């Protein structure tokens, strides 16, 4: 599994953070933008019609959102309706592994959002968050 | 067979099988505007009811349809352009509805030089459509010669009546008849084909049978199967099955789905039997179509649709063509139906889908489509599979909308995956685009954008024409279609090119910028300069913050280059453009004097009072008043403009780019929405007359880089009455002109968060800020415009330093625009009007005039001028009031000559050249201020209300009455009031001290009454040697013509005669009365003072504080309030003001004295009743200035000593009694206590009654039974002869008075006249009346007079006009 793109999407489905994790991946950044943007439709579907029984715990991990020819988009939604989305390569990823990755991603976001100088639902420009995401989600197998 | 470019047809739905393809071909040159108008007449009839067709239908053969729905069915047309209709249809053999079955030519006769050649051209075009079964050539605007000519060689020619000759209704009706006839003709042809159809006509080697573009290579099993079913019988059945399929298609096109179902069922059976899988699938698909159509007919969905759309769809704004505006009007009126039927015939709309959803047809359709897909999948006909999936997905989207998103999404994923295997590039593209459109129908707008972006990339990679790629890119920017309305592919064929409109949500700027950049790059490659301009403008306008400065600069250069390349017409862009951005703030109300007001120019008596109604007290009165006040406040804040006059709008302009921008022209744009008082049809006709409704006032600007929102005031004039909407601004810059709509104002972060939280899924629709409620302004009809000028004579008494602006003859506030009211112009500058500074002397009577001239274009028929004194300083002048620190003047009186104004009406406008366009209204002010000698300030408000003639909704301005109309005349204004204007001029009137009365003294003056005319004209004594006098002007004495007359008065022994009445010399009132009583009761009959007259002289020590000499005298009351009625009458006939002509009584009662500036003098006059005494002053130099001052009541009171009072209020008649007892001589008078003690009782009530009856109580003692001679002395103290009639009464103080009997007859005996004593009395003369009285019993008796009546020359004097001092005498009768 190779993580190629990480994204944080706000409550109004506006991008808060977008980063290509591929070395020299800026060329495909627009394509990733389109893919993550498209995957928001799947997020809405999963959020509005969750396939779980009554009494089940609310699952933050949304699973596979949108498969394309080359990539797959996985999603995670926080209690504050912040969406964390990751694009992985075409290899099938295990859900347990993706959950762990999303938990790290979420923790990094929580740390960044806890900054008293950060205003909620605004673009994340923290270099620390950027370095954390780069360090924890860099392509690895 | 040539290889087609594409197999899959875009925009297919479950209803496409029922639509007859009709090619609409313009023949020759048809102007674009007219072509769209003619197309509107045709495309209006996309759905034709069979009931209407039946009257045109000729049953030439037996109908092949067994279940033809003549009453409920309908035929449907799909109109295609020549380009779309001539495109090869590879599957036309499989589906009959893919063929073009009819052709309609459009011929604009005035543009066709040779009509016959044009018709030949039409016939040539028709030959390109071999399947066409109905051909018509519609010729519009034919010439008279063409109409008259017989055209046997043109069987398909249909002439439309000329618009100018026949009118709109005839043209519309003609089009309806022609289209019904066209449908009937087509129906006949379809029936003919049905009757002649045979299996022999069916080909077994169609495109769907053999093409490798359609079918995947067959497997071995299929080859075996093909040989197995290839015998003769199977071929015959296959032909028959395909024939049944074609007949089913034809029946569906003819509008009979029940017959179509029969044929489809037979076809399915036969095709299954012959293993003809493609036709089996097509027949199953056709059967599904027939089921849906039948369900539409049975559920009434088609019938309900039309009425719903017509009723609910708002009509679009008419876009009249200058060449043929009447057709545009017709099109605008019929726009709802044509607009609704434009997309896919009549199969759209919410009621349609609701009715279809209720019919439970979905289950059958679902199973039929599943069967069909299964069959076609076995055959591997991928295009057919994609088409069926798309049709079914659209059907689900229409039925369930967003609820079907999941199912449709999965279906489209499969379509995209399947489509990737299509062999034709165009098919792949169509598949991507169709999948994107269908995803948009179910609310997956983001997936739609992704698919379209993929289509753009694929189109680029495939090296398709740039113009085709541009179309995809443009579609990616547009918002998704409405699932209830279907797609608009067909509409594009007839639609004009629209500017690039962003339909992608803003919240993901990168995606949106990517879509716009795709359009920009493709448009540059395709050399579509207008799209280049639109895309560049869109990027700069909405994504400037995301662009680097270099990119912004390159975009600006691109804009300029594109504008340079565009044609002249294209440079007038209809959509928005690049920055500057405009934010609408508010429509500014007109300045106060120009603002239309609801006036109540009514008499006060008819005005609605606050207590009107059956109840004296209303519990909700306060609340109603508050509500009315609030409503009035809102009304004042609401912007209402006047037709034809300039209005102002406050906007904010910003330049977010990093470059300096030059705006060559910035003009406000407004749209006339309509007038509620005029019928919509009349408004449309008014719009078609070509009269402009708006006139803007453009400005030019330079905008620095990154200009924040900056306030700018733009102006424009609305030329019609009604409601206007400020739609934006017209901007000319960078070589192009565009219409910039209002941008939304910048929101704070909290507002953004709130908005984002409230709307988790942002709507795709871009908020149109042009429809802001604040951007609307009501425009009333034209109103007259009066230009008032306040004319005040230059004051000569006030130094220039104090006189401010009032020194000029015509008071004109500075900076007054020519079109506005002169005196009220300061109101336009700020929140309040700056008061007009004026100055006057205290007590001065100001004679102002208001010159009114009609500067507008409407006559003034009613007007009212009022001048009121404000109770306090207005808010606007509060600062000035604080600065002045002067007390408020009280008691300022004003008067306005409105009667003269009423007689001058109507005031005609200036351009009429009539003499009655000007008038003058006199104003009078008076301040009788005397208490304070300081400078004071009065706040005046000069208000002018006027209106023009009433305007009726239909005919415009009513004829104003020729006769002068008084504003107070009944019936002129209605209860609702007139719409007019009101201008208010606040005036700050500074009242400067003029005369200061230092002291008031009253002196007694005795003069001898001598016969002659001078008796009544005697003058007050001149105080030549007054010790306080500092008068130095000797000429003033000599100049007084009355000076010598005072020598005629007596010298006097009274110390008061020559001097003032000193306080120490005044006597007690009691003493004075006693003296008088003694005088009357004693032997005063011998004392003769008939020639003496006592008068009182008022002397004022006056200080002239002005800088000019004042001519001062004391005179009777001079008040403008008293003079008003006479004055108004005089003014009405043009007489002069009488104020300066003095007062007739002045020379007789007072002497004038000229007091030099800053000096004091004594002014004297005979005192009249003190309450009315006044001092007056007039200018010696300029008699046009005059005034009066009231005397200070406190000073007068201080001077009003008892002695003076006794003189000022002398008794006119005094009645006293004298009793003589013969035996006892003259008795000594008894005091009151002696009288009371003599009765032996202490009876306060008796004493009290006695006291109340006489001011002096005295009496004598007399024995019982003796006659007492009583002498009644009546003295006339006045200078006139009187006739006195009185009666006497004497009774015991214990008994009640018996007025009837004249006395107490039981105890009092009389001798002499008792009642009705009549005595003629000369002036200052006495008369005696003698009587004898005898008391029968002891007691206290009182004698007094009653019923005292006076008459002068036969005229009875009222008791209030004279004074009677009546005495009485008491008798203590003792044994």
What pLDDT sits at residue B913? Answer: 61
pLDDT computed for residue B1099 by the predictor: 77
DSSP state letters, B766-791? PP-GGG-GGGEEEEEPP---EEEEEE
* Chain A CA closest to residue B513: A30
Residue B1199, pLDDT score: 75
Q: Does B444 touch chain A (CB under 8 A)?
A: yes
Q: Do A41 and B508 touch (CB under 8 A)?
A: no
State the pLDDT at residue B243.
Answer: 92
Q: What is the mean pLDDT of residues B296-300?
A: 83
Residue that wins the pLDDT comparison between B1062 and B551:
B551
Chain A touched by B514 (CB under 8 Å): yes
* For residues B1243-1268, average pLDDT: 57
pLDDT at residue number B609: 45
Interface ipTM: 0.90
The answer to whether B589 and B639 are in contact (CB under 8 A) is yes
Residue-level pLDDT at B1223:
61
Residues in A closer than 8 angstroms to B418, CB to CB, are none
What letter would DSSP give residue B1296?
Answer: P
Q: Tell me: pLDDT of A11 over 50.
A: yes
B760: chain A residues, CB-CB within 8 Å:
11-13, 81
Higher pLDDT, A103 or B754: A103
- Check residue B1172 and give its pLDDT: 35
The pLDDT value given to residue B915: 62
- How far apart are the CA of A104 and the nearest CA of chain B, in angstroms? 25
Answer whether residue B700 shows pLDDT above 70: yes
At residue B1254, does pLDDT exceed 60? no
Q: Which of B1021, B1050, B1368 is nearest to B1229 (CA)?
A: B1368
Contacts of B297 (CB under 8 A, 6+ apart): B69, B72, B73, B257
For residue B306, what pLDDT band results from cuts at 50, 70 and 90? Answer: very low
Nearest Cβ partner for A15 among B405, B447, B508: B508
HSE (CB half, 13 Å, CA atoms) of B25? 29
> Which 8-state DSSP code applies to residue B1225?
B
Burial of B780 (0-12, 13-18, 19+ CB in 10 A): middle
Q: How far is B442 from chain A (nearest CA, A)?
A: 11
B346, B24, B307, B343: which is closest to B182 by C-alpha? Answer: B24
B336 has pLDDT over 50: no
Higher-confidence position of B409 and B638: B409
**What percentage of chain B exceeds 90 in pLDDT?**
11
pLDDT of residue B667: 93
Question: What would the pLDDT profile of B1101-1157 be if each residue is shown by its tens digit?
Answer: 878 777 777 777 765 543 333 333 333 333 323 222 233 333 333 444 445 677 777
Say whether B302 sits in a helix, a strand or coil.
Answer: helix
Place of tokens 């409407």: B858
Total Cβ atoms within 10 A of residue B1305: 12
Give the chain A residue whose CA is nearest to the CA of B504: A37
Using CB atoms, pick whichever of B444, B514, B756 lies closest to residue A121: B756
d(CA A82, CA B899): 78
Record the tokens describing residue B110, joined without a space. Answer: 């005035």
Task: Report, as an integer, the average pLDDT of B508-536.
Answer: 89
pLDDT at residue B1084, rounded to an integer: 36
Q: How many residue pairs bridge chain A and chain B with CB atoms within 8 Å of each other?
A: 62
The A-side interface with B (CB below 8 A) comprises: 10-15, 18, 29-30, 33-35, 37-41, 44-45, 49, 81, 119-122
Average pLDDT value for residue range B151-175: 79
Name the closest residue on chain B to residue A17, using Cα atoms: B508
The CA distance from A88 to the nearest CA of chain B, in Å, is 18
Span B642-652, mean pLDDT?
A: 89
- How sure is the predictor about B612, in pLDDT bands with cuts at 50, 70 and 90? low
The 10 Å Cβ neighbour count of residue B748 is 8
DSSP code string of B242-301 = HHHHHHHHHHHHHT-HHHHHHHHHHHHHHHHHTT-HHHHHHHHHHHHHHHHHHHHHHHTH
Please name every residue paired with B1003 in a beta bridge, in sequence order, or none if there are none: B1097
pLDDT value at position B1126?
A: 32
Angle at which helix B277-299 crosses helix B350-358, to 10 degrees, equals 110
Between helix B362-379 and helix B382-400 the angle, nearest 10°, is 160
Q: Tokens at residue B1307, please?
A: 């105890």
For the ranges B912-926, B1076-1090, B1290-1304, the lowest mean pLDDT is seen at B1076-1090
Please report which residue ranges of B81-143 form alpha helices under DSSP H: 82-85, 115-127
pLDDT of B1007 above 80: no
pLDDT tens-digit series, residues B385-427: 999 999 999 999 988 888 888 899 889 989 998 888 888 888 8
Q: In terms of pLDDT, which residue wins out, B747 or A120?
A: A120
Cβ-in-10-Å burial (0-12, 13-18, 19+) of B885 comes to exposed
Instruction: Quickly tell me which residue has 């008791």 as its tokens.
Output: B1359
**Which pLDDT score, from 0 to 100, does residue B251 have?**
93
Q: In sequence order, what are the residues at sequence separation of 6 or more whose Cβ sits closer than 8 angstroms to the Cβ of residue B66?
A: B258, B259, B262
Higher pLDDT: A12 or B331? It is: A12
pLDDT of residue B1069: 32
- B453 near A CB under 8 A: yes
Suggest the residue from A11, A15, A34 to mutate for an interface test with chain B (most B CBs closer than 10 A).
A34
pLDDT of residue B1238: 55
Mean pLDDT of B527-534: 90
How many Å apart are CA B77 and CA B70, to the nearest integer?
17
Q: pLDDT-derived band of residue B213, with 50, 70 and 90 as boundaries? A: low
Selecting from B406, B508, B762 the residue whose C-beta is nearest the C-beta of A37 gives: B508
CA distance B827 to B595: 11
In this prediction, residue B1029 carries a pLDDT of 36
Give the nearest chain A residue to B762 (CA atoms).
A12
Chain B residues close to A13, C-beta within 8 Å:
507-508, 760-762
Q: How confident is the model at residue B1213 (pLDDT cuts 50, 70, 90)?
A: confident
- Name the pLDDT band for B698 (thresholds 50, 70, 90): very high
Which pLDDT band holds residue B248 (cuts at 50, 70, 90)?
Answer: very high
Note the pLDDT of residue B713.
92
Smallest CA–CA separation between B507 and chain A, in Å? 5
Taking CB atoms and an 8 Å limit, are B760 and A12 in contact across chains? yes
Residues of B in contact with A18 (CB under 8 A): 510
Tokens representing B984 are 């208010």
pLDDT in tens, A76-131: 999 999 999 999 986 777 888 899 999 999 999 999 999 999 988 889 999 999 99
Taking the model in full, what pTM does it have?
0.66
The answer to whether the beta carbons of residues B1335 and B1319 sit under 8 Å apart is no
Which residue from B406, B450, B508 is facing A45, i.e. has the nearest CB? B406
Chain A CB contacts of B511 under 8 Å are: 33-34, 37
Q: What is the pLDDT of residues B1030-1070, one digit of tens each?
A: 333 333 333 333 333 333 333 333 333 333 333 333 333 33
CA distance linking residue B56 with residue B75, whole number of Å: 14
Residue B572, pLDDT > 80, answer yes
Residues of chain B with Cβ-Cβ distance to A45 below 8 Å are 405-406, 409
Distance from CA of A45 to the nearest CA of B (A): 8
d(CA B1132, CA B898): 9
Please tell me which of B1111-1120, B1301-1310, B1357-1366 the model is most confident about, judged by mean pLDDT. B1357-1366
Q: Quick one: what percent of chain A has pLDDT higher than 90?
A: 40
Mean pLDDT of chain B, nearest integer: 71
- Confidence check: pLDDT of A25 > 70: no
Does any CB of chain A come closer than 8 Å to the CB of residue B87? Answer: no
Q: Do A119 and B749 touch (CB under 8 A)?
A: yes
Per-residue pLDDT at B1012 exceeds 60: no
Mutation site, A38, A45, A50, A120, interface B, largest B CB count within 10 A: A38
**Beta-carbon separation of A81 and B760 below 8 A:** yes
Q: B180 to chain A nearest CA, in Å?
A: 47
| pLDDT interval class at B986 (50, 70, 90) | confident
Banded pLDDT at B714 (limits 50, 70, 90): very high
Would you state the structure tokens that stand for residue B704, as one six-digit string?
């620095």
Token representation of residue B954: 């239909």
Cβ atoms within 10 A of the Cβ of B367, count? 12
* Position B244 confidence tier, pLDDT thresholds 50, 70, 90: very high
Most confident range, picked from B232-246, B839-853, B1274-1288: B232-246
- B72 close to B106: Cβ distance less than 8 angstroms: no
CA atoms within 13 A on the CB side of B882: 4
pLDDT of residue B103: 92
Burial of residue B62, with CB atoms counted within 10 A of its CB: 0-12 exposed, 13-18 middle, 19 or more buried:
exposed
pLDDT in tens, A117-129: 998 888 999 999 9
B785-827 tens-digit pLDDT: 888 888 777 666 665 555 444 433 333 333 333 333 333 333 3
Closest CA to B889 of B839, B929, B923: B929
What span, in angstroms and rounded, lies between the C-alpha atoms of B486 and B397? 9
Residues B873-905: tens digit of each pLDDT? 555 555 555 555 566 666 677 777 777 777 777
CB contact under 8 A, B760 and A11: yes
Q: Average pLDDT for residues B653-659, to the nearest whole number?
A: 91
Average pLDDT over residues B479-492: 59
Kindly report, residue by residue over B430-470, the tens digit of the pLDDT: 899 999 989 988 888 888 888 888 898 888 888 888 888 88
Task: Look at B469 and B370; give whichever has higher pLDDT.
Answer: B370
pLDDT at site B758: 38
Domains detected in chain A: 3-137 (3.30.450.70)
For B616-663, give the DSSP string: S--TTHHHHHHHHHHHHHHHHHS-EEETTSEEEEEEEEEE-SSS-EEE
Note whether B657 contacts A: Cβ–Cβ < 8 A.
no
DSSP state of B1366: E
Region B340-349: mean pLDDT is 52
Q: Which residue of A has its CA nearest to B407?
A: A45
Residues ≥6 apart with Cβ < 8 Å to B425: B458, B462, B464
């Amino acid at each position: 599994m190779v993580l190629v793109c990480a994204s944080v999407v706000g409550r109004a489905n506006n991008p808060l953070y977008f980063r290509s994790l591929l070395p020299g991946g800026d060329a495909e950044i627009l394509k990733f933008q389109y893919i993550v943007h498209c995957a928001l439709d799947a997020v809405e579907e999963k959020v509005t019609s969750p396939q779980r029984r009554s009494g089940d715990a609310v699952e933050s991990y949304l699973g596979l959102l949108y498969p394309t020819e080359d990539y797959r988009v996985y999603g995670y939604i926080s209690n504050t309706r912040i969406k964390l989305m990751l694009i992985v390569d075409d290899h099938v990823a295990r859900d347990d592994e993706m959950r762990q990755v999303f938990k790290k991603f979420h923790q990094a976001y929580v740390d960044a959002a806890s900054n008293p100088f950060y205003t909620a639902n605004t673009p994340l420009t923290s270099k620390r968050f950027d370095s954390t995401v780069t360090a924890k989600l860099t392509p690895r197998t | 067979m040539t290889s087609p470019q594409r197999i899959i047809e875009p925009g297919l739905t479950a209803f496409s099988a029922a639509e007859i393809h009709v090619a609409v071909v313009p023949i020759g040159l048809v102007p674009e505007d007219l072509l769209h108008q003619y197309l509107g007449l045709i495309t209006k009839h996309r759905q034709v009811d069979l009931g209407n067709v039946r009257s045109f239908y000729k049953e030439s053969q037996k109908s092949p349809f067994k279940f033809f729905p003549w009453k409920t069915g309908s035929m449907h047309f799909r109109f295609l352009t020549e380009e779309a209709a001539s495109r090869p249809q590879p599957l036309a053999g499989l589906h009959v509805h893919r063929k073009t079955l009819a052709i309609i030519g459009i011929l604009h006769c005035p543009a066709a030089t040779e009509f016959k050649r044009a018709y030949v051209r039409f016939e040539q075009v028709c030959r390109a459509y071999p399947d066409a079964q109905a051909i018509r050539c519609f010729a519009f605007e034919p010439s008279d010669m063409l109409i008259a000519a017989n055209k046997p060689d043109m069987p398909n020619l249909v002439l439309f009546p000329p618009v100018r000759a026949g009118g709109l209704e005839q043209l519309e009706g003609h089009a309806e008849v022609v289209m019904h006839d066209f449908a009937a003709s087509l129906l006949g042809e379809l029936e003919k084909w049905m009757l002649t159809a045979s299996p022999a006509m069916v080909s077994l080697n169609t495109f769907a049978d053999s093409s490798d573009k359609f079918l995947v290579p067959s497997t071995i099993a299929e080859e075996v199967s093909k040989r197995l079913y290839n015998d003769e019988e199977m071929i015959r059945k296959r032909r028959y099955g395909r024939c049944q399929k074609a007949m089913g298609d034809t029946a569906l096109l003819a509008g009979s789905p029940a017959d179509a179902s029969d044929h489809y069922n037979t076809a399915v059976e036969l095709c299954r039997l012959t293993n003809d899988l493609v036709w089996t699938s097509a027949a199953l698909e056709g059967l599904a179509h027939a089921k849906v159509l039948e369900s539409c007919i049975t559920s009434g969905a088609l019938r309900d649709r039309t009425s719903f759309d017509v009723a609910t769809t708002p009509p679009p704004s008419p876009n009249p063509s200058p060449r043929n505006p009447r057709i545009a009007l017709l099109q605008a009126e019929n726009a709802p139906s044509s607009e609704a039927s434009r997309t896919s015939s009549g199969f759209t709309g919410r009621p349609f889908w609701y009715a279809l959803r209720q019919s439970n047809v979905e289950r059958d359709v679902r199973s039929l489509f599943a069967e069909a897909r299964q069959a076609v999948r076995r055959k591997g006909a991928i295009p057919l599979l994609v088409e069926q999936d798309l049709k079914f997905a659209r059907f689900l989207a229409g039925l369930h909308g967003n609820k079907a998103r999941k199912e449709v999404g999965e279906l489209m994923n499969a379509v995209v995956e399947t489509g990737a295997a299509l062999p034709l590039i165009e098919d792949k593209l169509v598949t991507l685009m169709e999948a994107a459109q269908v995803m948009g129908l179910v609310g997956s707008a983001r997936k739609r954008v992704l698919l379209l972006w993929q289509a753009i990339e694929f189109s680029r990679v495939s090296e398709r024409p740039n113009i085709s790629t541009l179309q995809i890119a443009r579609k990616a920017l547009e918002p998704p279609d409405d699932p209830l309305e279907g797609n608009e592919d067909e509409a594009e064929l007839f639609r004009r090119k629209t500017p690039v409109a962003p339909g992608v949500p803003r919240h993901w700027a990168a995606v949106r910028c990517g879509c716009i950049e795709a359009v920009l790059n493709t448009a540059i490659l395709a050399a579509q300069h207008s799209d280049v301009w639109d895309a560049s403008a869109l990027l700069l306008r909405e994504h400037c913050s995301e662009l680097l400065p270099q990119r912004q600069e390159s975009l600006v250069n691109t804009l300029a280059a594109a504008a340079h390349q565009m044609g002249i017409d294209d440079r007038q862009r209809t959509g928005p453009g690049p920055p500057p951005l405009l934010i609408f703030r508010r429509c500014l109300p007109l300045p106060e004097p120009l603002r239309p007001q609801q006036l109540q120019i009514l008499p006060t008596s008819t005005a609605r009072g606050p207590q009107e109604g059956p109840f004296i007290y209303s519990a909700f009165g306060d609340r109603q008043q508050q509500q009315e006040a609030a409503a009035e406040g809102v009304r004042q804040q609401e912007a209402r403009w006047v037709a034809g006059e300039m209005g102002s709008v406050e906007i904010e302009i910003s330049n977010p780019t990093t470059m300096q921008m030059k705006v060559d022209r910035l003009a406000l744009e407004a749209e006339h929405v309509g007038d509620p008082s005029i019928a919509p049809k009349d408004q449309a006709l008014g719009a078609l007359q070509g009269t402009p409704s708006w006139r803007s006032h453009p400005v030019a600007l330079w905008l620095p880089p990154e200009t924040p929102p900056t306030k700018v005031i733009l102006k424009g004039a609305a030329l019609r009455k009604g409601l206007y909407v400020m739609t934006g601004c017209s901007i000319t810059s960078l070589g192009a002109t565009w219409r910039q709509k209002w941008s939304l104002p910048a929101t704070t972060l909290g507002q953004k968060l709130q908005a984002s939280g409230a709307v988790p899924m942002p709507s795709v629709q871009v908020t149109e800020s042009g429809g802001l409620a604040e951007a609307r302004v009501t425009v009333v009809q034209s109103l007259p415009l009066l230009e008032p000028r306040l004319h005040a004579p230059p004051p000569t008494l006030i130094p220039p330093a104090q006189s401010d602006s009032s020194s000029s003859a015509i008071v004109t506030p500075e900076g007054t625009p020519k079109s506005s009211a002169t005196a009220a112009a300061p109101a336009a500058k700020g929140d309040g009007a700056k008061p007009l500074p004026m100055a006057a002397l205290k007590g001065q009577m100001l004679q102002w005039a208001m010159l009114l001239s009609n500067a507008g274009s409407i006559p003034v028929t009613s007007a009212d001028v009022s001048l009121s004194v404000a109770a306090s300083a207005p808010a606007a002048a509060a600062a000035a009031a604080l600065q002045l620190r002067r007390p408020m003047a009280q008691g300022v009186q004003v008067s306005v000559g409105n009667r003269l104004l009423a007689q001058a009406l109507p005031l005609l406008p200036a351009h009429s050249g009539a003499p009655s366009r000007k008038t003058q209204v006199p104003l009078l002010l008076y301040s009788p201020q005397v208490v304070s000698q300081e400078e004071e300030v009065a706040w005046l408000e000069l208000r002018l209300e006027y209106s023009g003639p009433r305007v009726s909704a239909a005919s415009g301005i009513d004829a104003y009455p020729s006769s002068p109309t008084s504003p107070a005349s009944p019936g002129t204004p209605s209860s609702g009031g007139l719409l007019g204007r009101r201008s208010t001029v606040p005036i700050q009137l500074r009242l400067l001290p003029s005369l200061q009365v230092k002291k008031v003294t009253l002196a007694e003056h005795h003069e001898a009454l001598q016969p002659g005319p001078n008796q009544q004209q005697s003058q007050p004594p001149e105080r030549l040697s007054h010790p306080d006098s500092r008068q130095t002007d000797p000429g003033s004495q000599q100049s007084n013509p009355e000076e010598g007359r005072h020598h005629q008065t007596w010298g006097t022994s009274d110390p008061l005669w020559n001097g003032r009445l000193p306080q120490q010399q005044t006597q007690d009132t009691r003493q004075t009365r006693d003296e008088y009583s003694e005088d009357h009761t004693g032997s005063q009959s011998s004392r003769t003072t008939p020639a003496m007259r006592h008068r009182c002289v008022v002397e004022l020590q006056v200080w002239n504080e002005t800088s000019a000499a004042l001519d001062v005298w004391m005179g009777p009351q001079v008040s403008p309030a008293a003079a008003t009625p006479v004055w108004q009458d005089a003014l009405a006939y043009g007489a002069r003001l009488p104020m300066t002509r003095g007062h007739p009584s002045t020379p007789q009662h007072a002497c004038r004295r000229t007091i030099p500036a800053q000096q004091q003098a004594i002014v004297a006059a005979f005192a009249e009743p003190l309450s009315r005494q006044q001092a007056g002053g007039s200018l010696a130099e300029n008699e046009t200035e005059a005034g009066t001052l009231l005397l200070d009541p406190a000073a007068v009171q201080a001077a009003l000593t008892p002695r003076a009072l006794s003189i000022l209020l002398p008794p006119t008649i005094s009645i006293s009694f004298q009793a003589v007892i013969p035996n006892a001589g003259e008795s000594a008078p008894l005091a009151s206590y002696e009288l009371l003690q003599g009765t032996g009782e202490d009876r306060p009530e008796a004493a009290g009654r006695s006291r109340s009856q006489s001011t002096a109580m005295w009496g004598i003692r007399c024995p019982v039974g003796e006659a007492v001679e009583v002498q009644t002395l009546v003295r006339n103290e006045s200078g006139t002869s009187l006739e006195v009639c009185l009666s006497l009464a004497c009774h015991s103080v214990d008994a009640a008075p018996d007025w009837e009997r004249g006395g107490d007859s039981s105890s009092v005996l009389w001798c002499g006249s008792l009642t009705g004593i009549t005595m003629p009395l000369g002036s200052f003369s006495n008369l005696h009346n003698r009587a004898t009285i005898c008391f029968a019993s002891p007691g206290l008796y009182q004698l007094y007079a009653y019923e005292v009546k006076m008459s002068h020359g036969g005229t009875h004097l009222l008791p209030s006009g004279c004074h009677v001092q009546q005495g009485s005498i008491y008798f203590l009768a003792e044994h």
